[in-house]
Amino acid sequence: MSARVLIVDDTAFMRRMLRDILVKESFEIAGEAKTGREAVELYRRTRPDLVIMDITMPEMDGIAAVREIVGLDAQAQIIMCSALGQDEPILQALEAGARDFVVKPFLPAKVLEAVGKVLEARPY
């Protein structure tokens, strides 16, 4: 069974890019969200194996969403996405419970490397 991934980004193009990278490698897409609030609700309903989440989003940013998701499930596996130069928000996201991060624009090899690393390290 392939891992189920929740993709969270306020930009449709970025969600599509991540979806294409993951589907090509046989990952199942558990859902897609445009805001942190949607991400928390979808996480609650779908309980994916992994979340790939943008930091900067309307309504609720990725850092707040990580805190809420980790509050629901301390074992949640979350990878943050950020643009170059967002070092402080990345650190905040990791402190909130994210397991890793990838930098935009996405390089498929870097996304898959982070996904593999996080999924291999998850507790069972």
pLDDT of residue 89: 87
- Dihedral sign (CA 119, 66, 84, 56): positive
DSSP count for the chain of H helices, then E strands: 5, 5
4-119 is a CATH 3.30.1330.10 domain? no
If you ran DSSP here, which 8-state letter would residue 76 be given?
Answer: -
18 closest CA partner among 94, 89, 80 = 80
pTM exceeds cut of 0.75: yes
Cα–Cα distance measured from residue 23 to residue 3, given in angstroms and rounded to the nearest whole number: 11
Model confidence pLDDT, tens digit, residues 72-113: 999 999 999 988 667 888 899 999 999 999 988 889 999 999
Instruction: Name the residue ranges covered by the structural domains of the chain.
Output: 4-119
Q: Which residues contact 23 (CB under 8 A, 6 or more apart)?
A: 29
pLDDT at 43 exceeding the cut of 60: yes
- C-alpha–C-alpha distance, residues 74 and 64, integer Å: 15
Q: Are 77 and 118 in contact (CB under 8 A)?
A: yes
For the ranges 40-44, 59-63, 90-94, 119-123, the one whose mean pLDDT is highest:
40-44
Could you report the per-residue pLDDT of 45-71, keeping only the tens digit for each? 999 999 999 999 989 999 999 999 999
d(CA 95, CA 64): 11
